[in-house]
Amino acid sequence: MKKVADLKIAVVCAGNICRSPMAEAILKDEINKRGLTWEVASRGTGSWHQGDGADPRAIETLKRHRLDASYHRAQRFSDDDFSVFDWILVMDKENLEALRSRAKNPDMVSKIHLYLELAGSKGPLREVPDPYFGGTDNFEAVFQLLRRYTPDLIDRILAQE
């Protein structure tokens, strides 16, 4: 088992321009507030936006909350990432299944979790909705959802390490 200080976390959505960069920024902020030194990165299961920056609506939403994703460049999740990251947190079931189908052994599969489910979300809300085809209100709703559940997510990771 790795030391808690050395954890590496990937947050994953489809294109790596909306949800996962937002989750990365929020997770990094909360980790920093707790004095933890975990590494966090984001990835996409698809390659449509590889090399692109985060969606401008995601950047603006984060900026309104004093967080930054202007540095972000979309990357596709690679098979090597299974060995790089200790925790792989996905936004929805479609991306969960996409990564599980690529995992070559049970250890790889055991790293993959739905972000909200691992955070303890009860009831029907187990997936982070994709705001891509919506307006700024959709991005704000995703931000608030991620901000609400991220502290619990960190607590649950700490409890399992």
Catalytic member of 13, 18, 55, 81: 13
What is the rounded distance in angstroms from the CA atom of residue 26 to the CA atom of residue 125?
A: 19
Is 18 tagged catalytic?
Answer: no
Q: Tokens at residue 74, please?
A: 């979309």
DSSP state of 45: S
Say whether 19 is catalytic.
Answer: yes
Please confirm, yes or no, whether 13 is among the known catalytic residues.
yes
Catalytic residue among 18, 19, 43, 81: 19
Closest C-alpha among 24, 32, 161 to residue 91? 24
The active-site residue out of 55, 81, 92, 130 is 130
Give residues with Cβ within 8 angstroms of 26, minimum separation 6.
67, 143, 146, 147, 150
Structure tokens that stand for 19 in this block: 């949800």
Active-site annotation, residues: 13, 19, 130
